[in-house]
Amino acid sequence: MFRWQKLVVGAVLSAAAFSLSAVANLAAAAAPQNAVVVYYTLLHNRDEGDENGVGKTQRVAQEIAKQTNSTLLEIKNVKKYPADYDETVDIARDELNQGVKLPMAAPVDVSAYQDIYLGMPCWWSSYPRVFATWFESQDFSGKNIYVFVTHGGSRYGRIINDIKAAVPNANVQPLLEMHDGDVYDYSDEELAEEVSQALGEL
């Protein structure tokens, strides 16, 4: 084969390879991501809260998103809780007892995802009542929900069973429970190890 023929063949093969690579990249970009981390943190849902600060549940959520290469989404209330923590605790208890469904500040759509890592503080052994609204806003049929919680000593409480009751067609599993005090005390390396171990046990 003449040199010029080799150059032509090489150019054609290179162009074909580039085209296939471009098509593959476009397909990957168009494909929906498979996993999402959805979380709620009190720090962003109380008066005088630091919107730029990192809440306890948020810190865990960020590490899970990092290790799973997942999208990170936050659920927020329309109306914020009082700055006083004890007052917030009382309100949260009343909301739970009354079966209140709190409005969300913005929709959080997870329809494109199969795996959902769901994080929240454990309040009175259950989930913050804004989740009651969110659970009704989505179709969770066939989806996997891996629950992680921060708490003051109650661990998961009734959260797993309460979520199963709210979304009976989903596969709900516990992932990780962390005491409030540990979340901020852990170094980045220690938190990463806790999350890695929990994910490895799924």
The string of pLDDT tens digits covering residues 120-171 is: 999 999 999 999 999 999 999 999 999 999 999 999 999 999 999 999 999 9
Domains of the chain: total: 2
Domain that holds residue 170: 33-200
Q: Is the pLDDT of residue 1 over 90?
A: no
The pLDDT tens digits of the residues spanning 156-166 come to 999 999 999 99
Q: In the structure, what pLDDT confidence band is assigned to residue 12 with cuts at 50, 70 and 90?
A: very low
Whether residue 12 sits in one domain with residue 51: no
**For the segment 83-105, what is each residue's pLDDT rounded down to a tens digit?**
999 999 999 999 999 999 999 99
- Statement to judge: residues 54 and 135 lie in one domain: yes
pLDDT in the model for residue 3: 52
Distance CA 82, CA 42 (A): 10
Please give the pLDDT value at position 9.
Answer: 45
112 touches 33 (CB < 8 A): yes
Average pLDDT across the chain, whole number: 87
Sheet order of strands, 71-74 included: 71-74, 35-39, 115-121, 144-151, 171-179
User: 3-state class of 48 per DSSP?
Assistant: coil
In Å, what is the CA distance from 27 to each residue of 16, 57, 113, 114, 200? 16, 34, 17, 18, 29
CATH number of the domain residue 63 falls in: 3.40.50.360
